[in-house]
Amino acid sequence: MATTADELRDEVRRRYAESARAVTDGSAGCGSGSCCADDSSTNAVGSAKFGEVLYDVDQRGELPDAAVLASLGCGNPTAVADLHEGETVLDLGSGGGIDVILSARRVGPGGTAYGLDMTDEMLALATNNAKEAGVSNVHFLKGVIEQIPLPADSVDVIISNCVINLSVDKPAVLTEMARVLRPGGRIGISDVVAEDHLSASERAERGSYVGCIAGALSKDEYEVGLRAAGFEHVSVEFTHQVADGMHGAIVKALKTGEPERMGLPLIQPAAQAGCC
């Protein structure tokens, strides 16, 4: 069982590398323990709640099969981000590249879509998928979402699909988002979010960390954290239940002020009883 931050991150990296290899080998779309797979500790998390089914037929038709199979998310951020021609978009935890490719098409040749991922296997898969899709305005970056390898005020829109809940330092992620967004920039994120009454240990009882359950922030934690990072017009809206008291959610916010380091407490690794 992973307990430290480094161990949790390595476990996430290993599970998503397995998923990428499964797609490349043609054996499966979801690696064991990934967000789109059933979680052994709960019967509520099923394939209808995660993965490719959250994209409509027309969107799936725009994509290579491997990109669709590699979809491990809990929502469809490109459907809510309201992307415009010429914008610069950043996808945190871009995986097999499905949302980067869709974003690249939305912003057009005058725009740019970045994908950030820490897993070599996913980056290789995403690069191949983008080539097959024929999109040239994409750039995939290796790194962690707690330290985004882009300069300040360089991005118009940040999207992410069921990845922030996997971070071992969520305050750093929210602060980094505010740093790289231009004034007036916005976020349109899909994530798993807990109801406010659930404690960290109760979240861990409902599913594993790598299964996108144990590490989820509560609705109030998300809202407080985003405001502390410098965001306004914050909204966290539940869309569908993925476990008892746990929901897929759409998270939106606008950067209008200067970010500050927030005092949002982390979910301590010791509470991750359901992990791995």
Tell me if 276 is assigned to some domain: no
Per-residue pLDDT at 44:
38
Task: State mean pLDDT over 89-102.
Answer: 92
Task: State mean pLDDT over 128-153.
Answer: 95
Residue bearing the bigger pLDDT, 275 or 77: 77
Give the domain CATH number at 171: 3.40.50.150
Tell me if 33 is assigned to some domain: yes
Residue 12 pLDDT grade (very low, low, confident, very high; cuts 50, 70, 90)? confident
Tell me if 259 is assigned to some domain: yes
Threshold 0.75, pTM exceeds? yes
Per-residue pLDDT at 20:
66
What is the chain's percent helix, strand, coil content, to nearest 5? Answer: 35, 20, 45
Domain that residue 12 falls in: 5-271
**What's the total number of domains in the chain?**
1
129: phi then psi, degrees, rounded to nearest 5: -65, -40
| Residues above pLDDT 70, as percent of the chain | 68
Per-residue pLDDT at 155:
98
Tell me if 200 is assigned to some domain: yes
Burial of 110 (0-12, 13-18, 19+ CB in 10 A): exposed
